[in-house]
Structure 1
């Protein structure tokens, strides 16, 4: 259930007094274009049209300020109403190694740029207008980057601790790689900072869409779309109420051929405390996919109370063609439903079906030590035992 939001009449006015806004000195220069395109169907002149748009933008920003516990606000849009028209420039303006939070508002539009939140830009909250409304998009692949490979192909790289994003879409629009094609990996999001949270966001690509590299992360009510190993890395992450959408092609021999994989977890040793936990998520889409492949010998992936469409292969899991990993990988399911979970007796023998006691440690914020940082301020104090708060 959603917690009732604050009353805007008082919250916005108090927020505007309490928060400090970043403003560039006039003139704004090349970064913000003052001229906005005029809708020919509107009777108002260009100045009135732009003012109306900017007034609406200001009201939305004020509303976001009231929701987030930030001491500095930076604004980004395409209409000339904000501090920046470029997201990377806004991130570059965040104070280095700040102990307080910076809110960056990203108005609706497609921002065609490659963005890095460097490790010194701590405590950033990125707030968009909605998944598929505020879009960051680029088209690098492992082949197109200069010596960087798959990791460097990311559209958005989050290397700083304490990052949060709300209602934003991140896309890698590169052409999907053909089967067996080398260098076609194309990451949308790379997250390597600790204590990162993503709320109601979307991540779209094909092979290697989401590089959940390292650290503790929360994905709440998000959409992740891809085909091959499209959630991969060695992080300790909790996915609550997410839609996991396969865009894998159907195999040549029909529905029986597996053509993709949801996860590829890279845990390398028993000493690591990493793994992916999916709670009340849905696995849907096209093709036929494994729930996970053992990229690392101790790969750890759990699906609890999830819904599986028939896109999930009957065997469920794959050992990366390394039979020894069957003894060390931890692939498990608990109380899952749908056509893809209808006959668990067909799962590979090393997959586990957990009971409630065994599944419980993977099913709430304590799995990622996220009680203090996982929930956004507007949901602060709400106990999250599963994916109910989305």
Structure 2
């Protein structure tokens, strides 16, 4: 499992192993609420296992989670992303992930907007039947439906039910999805790449 972070000085990751130097870790997280606080800077997580129930991946960073296993323990919300402005580049992208549940059906939401412009994308992700057909929640604020950016792209599984999704969420077009489905989402500057450099580092077998 690989987890890489690029933090700003005030960065926080609650209930989670982290490093300000971008060193890889093997990570599994087991909590009910507020499992993973991704709130500042940029993060890349790969092959991680994250479980919880209520808003268990939350904050306002720019994060790409790839090949991760997301497990919904009970009724609640996977994400609570808190982007504050339409000009803010933050958001969460789940790329080629798996979402599983406890055997029940239709009890978990993909997310709700902690901030009015919350932005979350699930792309090429398999969804268990635990995901509610409506998919997304407005946090009981109808005004959030005008500003939140909740997207899906080429997902699959019994929990992928685009015909019954919240009308204010949508499936991305191919050209719209391009900005989200590569490492460029968290490492956009080719003149000063951080993720590409970290991924090229060879970790010794004895580590």
TM norm. shorter chain > 0.5: yes
Q: Give 1:316's aligned residue.
A: 135
Q: Give 1:331's aligned residue.
A: 150
Aligned length: 188
Q: Give 1:295's aligned residue.
A: 114
Q: Give 1:86's aligned residue.
A: none
TM-score by length of 2: 0.83
Q: Is 1:266 aligned to 2:91, yes or no? A: no
| Residue in structure 2 matching 1:282, options 98, 117, 138 | 98
Q: 4+ residue runs of structure 1 moved beyond 6 angstroms?
A: none
Q: Give 1:162's aligned residue.
A: 21
Higher relative contact order (CA 8 A, sep 6+): 2
Q: Give 2:4's aligned residue.
A: none
Q: Give 2:3's aligned residue.
A: none
Q: Give 1:129's aligned residue.
A: none
In 2, the alpha carbon distance for the partners of 1:214 and 1:303 equals 20
Q: Give 1:131's aligned residue.
A: none
In 2, the alpha carbon distance for the partners of 1:225 and 1:375 equals 28
| Residue in structure 1 matching 2:68, options 221, 242, 261 | 242
TM-score by length of 1: 0.45
In 2, the alpha carbon distance for the partners of 1:155 and 1:362 equals 26
Q: Is 1:229 aligned to 2:48, yes or no? A: no
Displacement, 1:376?
Answer: 6.8
- Cα deviation 1:358-379 (Å, max 9, x = unaligned): 11110111101167322575x5
Q: Give 1:374's aligned residue.
A: 195
Preserved CA contact (<8 Å) 2:99 2:126: yes
Q: Is 1:340 aligned to 2:159, yes or no? A: yes
Unaligned runs of 5+ in 2: 1-6, 202-207
In 2, the alpha carbon distance for the partners of 1:376 and 1:163 equals 10
In 2, the alpha carbon distance for the partners of 1:228 and 1:218 equals 22
| Residue in structure 2 matching 1:356, options 169, 174, 180 | 174
In 1, the alpha carbon distance for the partners of 2:196 and 2:167 equals 37
Matches within 5 A, 1:104-115: none
Unaligned runs of 5+ in 1: 1-116, 121-150, 168-200, 249-258, 382-390
Matches within 5 A, 1:61-76: none
**Secondary structure in structure 2 of the residue aligned to 1:246:** strand
Q: Give 1:305's aligned residue.
A: 124
**Secondary structure in structure 1 of the residue aligned to 2:94:** strand
Choose between structure 1 and 2: higher helix proportion. 1
Displacement, 1:166?
Answer: 2.0
Choose between structure 1 and 2: higher strand proportion. 2
Preserved CA contact (<8 Å) 2:146 2:168: yes
In 1, the alpha carbon distance for the partners of 2:195 and 2:47 equals 13
- Cα deviation 1:191-210 (Å, max 9, x = unaligned): xxxxxxxxxx2122110100
CA RMSD of aligned residues (A): 2.5
